Amino acid sequence: MAALIRRTGDWDLSEECAQEAFAEALRRWPSDGVPDRPGAWLTTVAKNRAIDRLRRERRGAELMVQVAPLEGEAPAMDDHDPHLGSDSDCDSDSDESGIEDDRLRLIFTCCHPALPLEGRVALTLRALAGLTTAEIARAFLVPEPTMAKRLVRAKGKIAGARIPYRVPPAHLLPERTGGVLAVLYLLFNEGYAASGGPDLIRAQLCDEAIRLARALSGLMPDEPEAAGLLALMLFHHSHRRARLDAAGDVITLEDQDRTLWDRAEIDEANARLAAALRHRRAGPYQLQAAIAACHTDAADVADTDWARIASLYETLAGVMPSPVVALNRAVAVAMARGPEAGLQLIDELQESGDLTGYRLLYATRADLLRRLGRADEAADAYRQALALSGSDAEHRFLTKRLAEVGGPERGS
């Protein structure tokens, strides 16, 4: 599909011809056998369909000019005999590296910063993961017409405002790559958050996000953050069977049954991270993956290298300053050097006002006070956290803790 978009500039036509090519493959390959280069076969069949359609629909002169070069290429690539044709007969559209270049162009175009974020996410799922509009709508819990409109708007803006269909030039590549990675991570988190909707849909989102991250790191071998993101996703994903209890409540890392973690995914994640770090260009995703690796390396909470985690968070705060990162660092410091040290950082955070109203700040503070045996103060902090509503599961957890420090719930 990516190659067709490049040639015709028509997303809808490209989608339809790509679908027809797949249908043709499903009809022919069981009896004819899978061709040596299936990607090239599909691209050629789809291209021929596009030529036919354009000719029949008598599009404007502009498109016919683009069609002519398509006809002139690869005459030996006959779609009635998929085993014919050697490498030299194939044009650059059909060989595998050409296909990869087009997929890269497609990802960057779908994730262009001038598109609204929700449009970027939807278009990435549609164009790159091949999800139907209905599937994407279900995944994001919006009605199908809403999602259809979102996609139409995004495609309309690409055409109307002339967003270029290309991999960005070198001077824009760093920030644009960051944008693509952010969209993929958002996709993953939508699937992983388990915040609502039927589980099956959410699992599919995680799988698609991982698939796309894998494809991207293959397409951009010199970009360690792409591999870093993949590693991070795999680390998170490896916990999935241990994360929720029978009631659907989240089990914290320290309480998870680590025998349920997916070791194959952890192994792949470690390999990807190691490869990324060899580039010696650490960035936010590699750092977060390294932190996740510290957890997966450990047999349990006590065995975890909290000092290393605290140090990694400090480095992360340097490249990705955010109050949430600071909060996570405080937690790690508390584990490495004791609750008092962590509490000091928490209090500084509270002073700064950056996290006012952020319930995890109060929940964390409460937890540290509890561990220091300062029960009354802990109870107050738990009440503050409870006042800022979270999920039912969180509510239950905090209420339990409040009872443990001997604080009755104040009536509201």
Binding-site ranges for another protein (CB under 8 A): 112, 114, 160-164, 168, 172
Backbone angles phi, psi at 250, to 5 degrees: -75, 135
User: Which of 56, 162 has the CB closer to another protein?
Assistant: 162
User: Which of 75, 169 has the CB closer to another protein?
Assistant: 169
Rounded to the nearest whole angstrom, what is the least distance from the CB of residue 372 to another protein in the complex? 44
Rounded to the nearest whole angstrom, what is the least distance from the CB of residue 11 to another protein in the complex? 16
Report how far residue 166's alpha carbon sits from residue 109's, in angstroms, rounded to the nearest whole number: 7
User: Distance from CA of residue 52 to its chain's centroid?
Assistant: 37
The DSSP output letter for 258 is G
- Please say whether the beta carbons of 126 and 133 come within 8 A: yes
Residue 272 CB neighbours (<10 A)? 26
Rounded to the nearest whole angstrom, what is the least distance from the CB of residue 160 to another protein in the complex? 6
Rounded to the nearest whole angstrom, what is the least distance from the CB of residue 169 to another protein in the complex? 8
Structure tokens at 324: 């949430």
Q: Give long-range contacts, CB 8 A cutoff, 24+ apart: 361-369.
A: 361/327, 362/388, 363/398, 364/327, 364/330, 364/331, 366/398, 366/401, 367/401, 368/334, 368/339, 368/342, 368/343, 369/339, 369/343
Rounded to the nearest whole angstrom, what is the least distance from the CB of residue 161 to another protein in the complex? 5
User: Which of 38, 156 has the CB closer to another protein?
Assistant: 156
Rounded to the nearest whole angstrom, what is the least distance from the CB of residue 247 to another protein in the complex? 49
Backbone angles phi, psi at 244, to 5 degrees: -115, 145
User: Which of 7, 236 has the CB closer to another protein?
Assistant: 7
Rounded to the nearest whole angstrom, what is the least distance from the CB of residue 172 to another protein in the complex? 7
Q: Which residue has the tokens 């056998």?
A: 33
Report how far residue 352's alpha carbon sits from residue 154's, in angstroms, rounded to the nearest whole number: 39
Nearest partner of 333 among 321, 343, 323, judged by Cα? 343
User: Which of 80, 171 has the CB closer to another protein?
Assistant: 171
User: Which of 157, 337 has the CB closer to another protein?
Assistant: 157
- Please say whether the beta carbons of 286 and 241 come within 8 A: no
User: Which of 163, 251 has the CB closer to another protein?
Assistant: 163
